[in-house]
Structure 1
Amino acid sequence: MRPQRYVAALAVAGLVAGCGTAEPSANAPLKMAFVYATSTQNPFQEMAFGAKAAADDAGNVDLTLSAPSSVDGPQEVSLFQSAIRNSTDGVALETLTPDLFVRPLRQAKDLDVPVVAVDTLPPRGTEVGLYIGNSNTDLGKLLGEEFVKQVPENATGEVVLGNAIPGLTLLQQRLDGMKSVIEAKRPGLRISGPFDSGSEPTSNFTKWNDIVKAHPDAIGYLGVGAQDAVSLALIQKNTGRKFLAGSCDPDVSALQAVKDGYVFALASPEHWMKGYIALRLLAEHKRGGKDLPKGWWNTGSLVVNADNIDQIMARQKDEGSRKAAFKAETDRQLAEPAKHLRPIGEAN
C-alpha cells in the first residue's frame, strides 16, 4: 500500500504550551506517522481513524498513515524505516511481527525520533518506553463472562476456540482469559482448540467452515480476532444452523451479526482510543516539552451485546461519530494519565 498523506486542520487553541529547547509555538508544524500492520482489517483501520482524529485535534500536523495491504512484516519494516526518516517529530507503531522491529526501533532511537508502541508490546532489546494497549486478558474474560450467561450452570458439551494468529501473544492472552472464566463457571463444558482460524477474511471463513464441520455438535464457537464473528455469522446463514458465536472487534459486519442475533457478543479492544492517545501524547511531547509517559497505558475495553448494539452501531457510523462518542473518554484519560499507567512489564 502506498502511504496516505493526511494534513490535519489548524490547532485547537491552547492544547499544549511552548517547548523547551527548540521553543516552537504551540501550533508549530509537525511531521508525524502512524505505521500499522494492514490496511484491510477493522482493528487497524480503527487505530488509524483514532490517529487521524488526534492529529486533527493537535492541529497543523502532517500525518502519514502507512500499512501493507495484508500482513507483511518485512514490508511494514520498510514503511517504518521510511517513516523515521521523513516523519521525524514522532511515529506510532502497531505491528503483528514485533520481533522484526528490534533493529528498526534502535535506528529510530539513534535518529532521536520518538516512538510509541500501539496495541502490541515493543520487542525486548529496544528502548521504547511507552506502550498503548488494552488488557487482552481482561478482554478475554469479558467475552467469557458473556458466553457463560448464554448457557445453564450444569451445561455439558463442546466449546470450540479459534485463534486468528497462532503465536501472537496478545491473542493468546485473550484465549487464556476466556478459558479461565469458562472452566471456572461452566466446568461441565469441554473446550477444544484453539484451532488456527486465519486472520485474512477469505482464509478465516474457509478455516472456520472446516472447524465447524469437524466439530458439528459443539454448542459454541468463540474467536479472538476481528473476522471470526463475521465468518461464524455467515456460516449460520449459509447452513441454517444456529449456535452460540462470539469474538472481538467492532467490524461493521460483526456489529450487524450482533444486531441480527447471530453473535451473542463482541469484546471490543477499543482500538480507536489507542491510535488517538498515542498521537496526542507524541504531539504534546514534541510541542510542549513534556516527557513521554513511561509504562503501559491501558485504554480500556468494552462489551458489545444486544443491550448496547444500537448505540455502538451509531458510534461506528463514520469518523465524525467516532470522534464525538469518544471525546469525553479521551479528555478524561489525557487529564489523568497516572490513573491509566502501570509498569510496562505488567501489560497483559
Structure 2
Amino acid sequence: MRAPRYVAALAAAGLLAGCGAASSPNAPLKMAFVYATSTQNPFQEMAYGAKAAAGDAGNVDLALSAPSGVDGPQEVALFQSAIRNSKDGVALETLTPDLFVRPLNQAADLGVPVVAVDTVPPAGTKVELYIGNSNTELGKALGEEFVKQVPENATGDVVLGNAIPGLTLLQQRLDGMKSVIQAKRPGLKVLGPFDSGSEPTSNFTKWNDLVKANPNAIAYLGVGAQDAVSLALIQKNTGRRFLAGSCDPDAAALQAVKDGYVFALASPEHWLKGYVALRLLIDHKRGKPMPKGWWNTGSLVVNAANIDQVMARQKDEDSRKAAFKAETEKQLADPNAHLRPLGEAN
C-alpha cells in the first residue's frame, strides 16, 4: 500500500515547527496512522478506513506508515516519527504492544492524542481509548459456523492454527471458537493451536505441514488473515477436501468462500476501526470531547449467503466507503451505544 502524498511534506513541516514556525488556524490537521505491516489485508483495511475518514472530514493531512513486514522495532521508530510530525493525533495499530509502553508515554508527554486500534493499549500507558471488535465473540461466531457443518454426534480431529502465538487478540479468538466446539460437538477432539505463521509464505508452509501431520482431521481452523488462503490452496493442490475456516476478508480468502473451499470467514471489520479511530481524533481536535474506554466496532460472518455482497463491498476503496457509510454514521452519532470500560475489552 502506498502512503499518501503528504508524508514528505509532514517531515518538512516537522522541521519548520522545530524552528519555531507558527501554524495557521486554517492549516490542515497533521495526523498519522501507524500500523503493523503493509503486506497483509487486516492492516490494509484499517489504513483504507483511516484514509476515508480523513477525506470525509476534510482539511486533514494524514500520514500512513507501516513496515513491509511485521517488525516491532521498526514500527516503534515510525511511531516516534509520527508523534513528532503529526502532533494533532496518531492512531496506532501494533502486533507488538509491549514495545510501545515508553513510546506511548512519550506521546503523552508531548501532548499528542493517541488512539489504540485493534490491539488493547499496553498497561503502564495513558492511552484511554481503544477501537476494536470483540475477538472472543468473533471466535465464537466462527465456531458457530463450524458446528453447522458437522452432525451433533460427529467424531474426529479438529486442528487449530495460531498465526501469532502469544498475541492476546488471536488467543481470544481461539478460546471463543474452542468453547463453542467443545460445548456443542463434544465428540470432536481439538488439537493445538499450532503456530501457523503470519506472513503468506510461512503460513502456507506451516499449514501444509500441519495437514500432512494430521491427515485424518475433519477440519483445519485458523484465526489469522492468511489461514483461509493457505488452506484453500492446499485443497486445490492436493485434491483433498476438508472443512476450513478463518478470519479476515482477504480477497483470496473471499474467493475461497465463493468457490466452496472455505465454509466461513469471521471478519473483524477492520475498515471500521481505522475510520472510527481517525474520525474521533479529528473531531476531538475540532472541539469534541474524546471518548474513553473500549469502542466495539463489531464484526461480520462471511459465508455462502452473503459472499457476493461482501465481495462487491471489497472491490475497491470507493465501494468500501459506500458500503460502510450508514454504519459509520450510526456509530459516530451514538458513541455510548458502542463504549464499554477499557478493562472489559475481549
Letter in 2 for 1:337: P
Equivalent positions of 1:163-312 (< 5 A) are: 163-287=162-286, 289-312=287-310
- Give the deviation of 1:60 after TM superposition: 1.0
Q: What is the Cα deviation at residue 161 of structure 1?
A: 0.2
How far apart, in 2, do the equivalents of 1:61 and 1:40 lie?
25
Q: Which residue of 2 aligns with 1:43?
A: 42
Task: With the length of structure 2 as denominator, give the TM-score of the two structures.
Answer: 0.94
Q: Deviations over 1:246-283 (max 9, x none)?
A: 00000000000000000000000000000000000000
Unaligned runs of 5+ in 2: 7-23
Post-superposition offset of 1:290:
1.7
Match of 1:328 in 2: 326
- Render the CA deviation track for 1:68-123: whole Å, top value 9, x for unaligned: 00000000000000000000000000000000000000100010000000000000
Partner residue of 2:12?
Answer: none
1:90 maps to 89
Output the amino acid matched with 2:244. A
Are positions 1:343 and 2:341 aligned together? yes
Give the 5 Å matches for 1:101-112.
101-112=100-111
Q: Residue type matched to 2:41 in 1? A: N
Residue aligning to 1:121: 120
Partner of 2:29: 30
User: Taking structure 1 as the reference length, what is the TM-score of the superposition?
Assistant: 0.93
Q: Aligned pair in 2 of structure 1 residues 227, 209: CA closer, same or farther (>3 Å)?
A: same
SS at match of 2:112: coil
Q: Determine the C-alpha separation between the residues in 1 that align with 2:229 and 2:206.
A: 13
| Equivalent pair of 1:162/1:195 in contact (CA under 8 Å) | yes
- Write the letter of the residue equivalent to 1:300: G
SS at match of 1:325: helix
Contact kept? 1:6, 1:52, Cα under 8 Å: no
Shift of residue 5, structure 1, vs aligned partner: 2.9
Distance in 2 of aligned mates of 1:94 and 1:190: 35
Q: Separation in 2 of the partners of 1:170 and 1:256?
A: 25
Q: Deviation at 1:291?
A: 1.9
Q: Deviations over 1:196-229 (max 9, x none)?
A: 0000000000000000000000000000000000
* Percentage of identical aligned residues: 85
CA deviation string 1:294-343 (max 9, x = no partner): 00000000000000000000000000000000000000000000000000
Count the aligned residue pairs: 332
Structure 1 gaps of 5+ residues are 8-23
The Cα offsets for residues 106-150 of structure 1, whole Å up to 9 and x where unpaired, read as 100010000000000000000000000000000000000000000
Amino acid at match of 2:182: E
Tell me, in whole angstroms, the C-alpha distance in 1 between the residues paired with 2:3 and 2:99. Answer: 23
Counterpart amino acid of residue 71 in structure 1: V
Moved over 2 A (4+): 3-7
1:172 partner letter:
Q
Check conservation: 1:90, 1:282, Cα contact below 8 A: yes
Give the CA deviation at 1:4. Answer: 2.2
Mapped partners of 1:65, 1:137: distance in 2: 29
Whole-Å Cα distance in 1 between the matches of residues 105 and 48 of structure 2?
27
Determine if contact 1:6/1:65 at 8 Å carries over to the other structure: no
Taking only aligned residues, the RMSD between alpha carbons, in angstroms, comes to 1.6
8 Å contact 1:6–1:62 — kept in the other structure? no
Task: State the alpha-carbon separation in 1 of the partners of residues 213 and 244 from structure 2.
Answer: 16
Q: Could you say which residue in structure 1 is the equivalent of 2:20?
A: none
- Give the letter aligned to residue 233 of structure 1: A
